[in-house]
Amino acid sequence: MSKKSTDAAGSTDLPLPHADRPVASAPGHWVLARAGKRVLRPGGAALSAAMLSHAGLAGADVVELAPGLGRTAAEIIKDHPASYTAIDRDPDAARRVAAVVGDLGTVRQGEAADTGLDEASADVVVGEAMLTMQGDKGKAAIVAEAARVLRPGGRYAIHELGVTPDDIDEDYYTQLRRDLARSIHVNARPMTAAAWKELMEDAGLVVDWVDTAPMALLKVGRNIRDEGLGGFLRIARNVAADKALRRRVQEMAATFKRYEKDMVGFALVAHKPES
């Protein structure tokens, strides 16, 4: 899948994923994309940048799992990797990312747990806001695939939704998960920092770096920083003009607000040991 690059933010004439689904029932991230949002991960672009700076991208063979609309793809390409390969399960997302990376990368539609890539063929695997939406088995299968694809010494960088503290009350956590899933229409299963680290260690990876940022996906300040003032104003106009979109965004914002102190953007970089 190779198309001429359009712009680094991934805004092309190509259809958005789930564009034909009613706003009331579409997955939250694609609803936000419809409103104009391009940074679809909980800790925002700054946490992604910090994570990428610890991943060692220059001159590396990089694989991105679930690139979405290609915003991180554009950042990775800027760091001059030796190669860029991406796999997203959504065909429209894959087409849009192909347009973002142009001749500088390869993008395929596929499953992150079964990339079809050769064993030990990558120096860096990146995945953001995609493990959170898998169950326990799905998470483990994707992390095992990332570990398989990495060369010894290679790095796996993730940016996902965290819950805090590590000893969060089990009933409260269950309620948070249910409310979140109901609001974003994705069966999201965020985890504590300890559980994210354990997921890596269970696959034989060694965690080297961890950071967090507030879960501020729908906050004004974060959106001005991540989408630019023009992008923020476009989102605000789109939301104001469409009643169904407004209702959905308001519902999600209310849930995020309710659990503001319990949720964080969580990023880590782990490496595959030499033997």
Ligand X SMILES: C[S@@+](CC[C@H](N)C(=O)[O-])C[C@H]1O[C@@H](n2cnc3c(N)ncnc32)[C@H](O)[C@@H]1O
Give the distance from CA 29 to its chain's centroid: 10
Segment 14 to 53, residues that bind ligand X, using CB under 6 A? 29, 39-41
Work out how close the CB of 130 gets to ligand X at its nearest, in angstroms, rounded to a whole number: 4
Residue nearest to ligand X (CB): 68
Binding-site size for ligand X (CB under 6 A) equals 19
89: phi then psi, degrees, rounded to nearest 5: -75, -20
Q: Is 129 in the site for ligand X (CB under 6 A)?
A: yes
Residue 7 or residue 169: which is nearer to ligand X going by CB? 7
Work out how close the CB of 89 gets to ligand X at its nearest, in angstroms, rounded to a whole number: 4
Applying CB under 6 A, the span of 129-137, 143-151, 218-226, 252-260 interacting with ligand X comes to 129-137
User: What distance in Å separates the CA atoms of residue 25 and residue 188, rounded to the nearest whole number?
Assistant: 15
131: phi then psi, degrees, rounded to nearest 5: -70, -35
Work out how close the CB of 105 gets to ligand X at its nearest, in angstroms, rounded to a whole number: 15
- Report how far apart, in Å, the C-alpha atoms of 234 and of each of 132, 231, 261 are: 28, 5, 28
Segment 104 to 123, residues that bind ligand X, using CB under 6 A? 111-112
* Nearest CA-CA partner of 76 in 92, 55, 98: 55
Secondary structure (DSSP) of 207-268: EEEEEEEE--TT-HHHHHHHHHHHHHHHHHHHHHH-HHHHHHHHHHHHHHHHTTTTEEEEEE
Residue 76 or residue 165: which is nearer to ligand X going by CB? 76
Q: Is 211 in the site for ligand X (CB under 6 A)?
A: no
Q: Is 93 in the site for ligand X (CB under 6 A)?
A: yes
Q: Does a cis peptide bond (omega within 30 degrees of 0) precede residue 165?
A: yes
Residue 42 or residue 241: which is nearer to ligand X going by CB? 42
Sequence-distant (6+) residues with CB within 8 A of 78 are none
Q: Is 189 in the site for ligand X (CB under 6 A)?
A: no
User: What distance in Å separates the CA atoms of residue 22 and residue 239, rounded to the nearest whole number?
Assistant: 15
Q: Is 160 in the site for ligand X (CB under 6 A)?
A: no
Work out how close the CB of 111 gets to ligand X at its nearest, in angstroms, rounded to a whole number: 5
Per CB under 6 A, the list member of 14, 34, 98, 128 interacting with ligand X is 128
Work out how close the CB of 167 gets to ligand X at its nearest, in angstroms, rounded to a whole number: 27
Applying CB under 6 A, the span of 83-91, 198-206, 227-235, 237-245 interacting with ligand X comes to 83-91
User: What distance in Å separates the CA atoms of residue 194 and residue 147, rounded to the nearest whole number?
Assistant: 19
User: What distance in Å separates the CA atoms of residue 207 and residue 201, rounded to the nearest whole number?
Assistant: 7
Contact residues: ligand X, CB under 6 A: 29, 39-41, 66-68, 71, 87-90, 93, 111-112, 128-130, 133
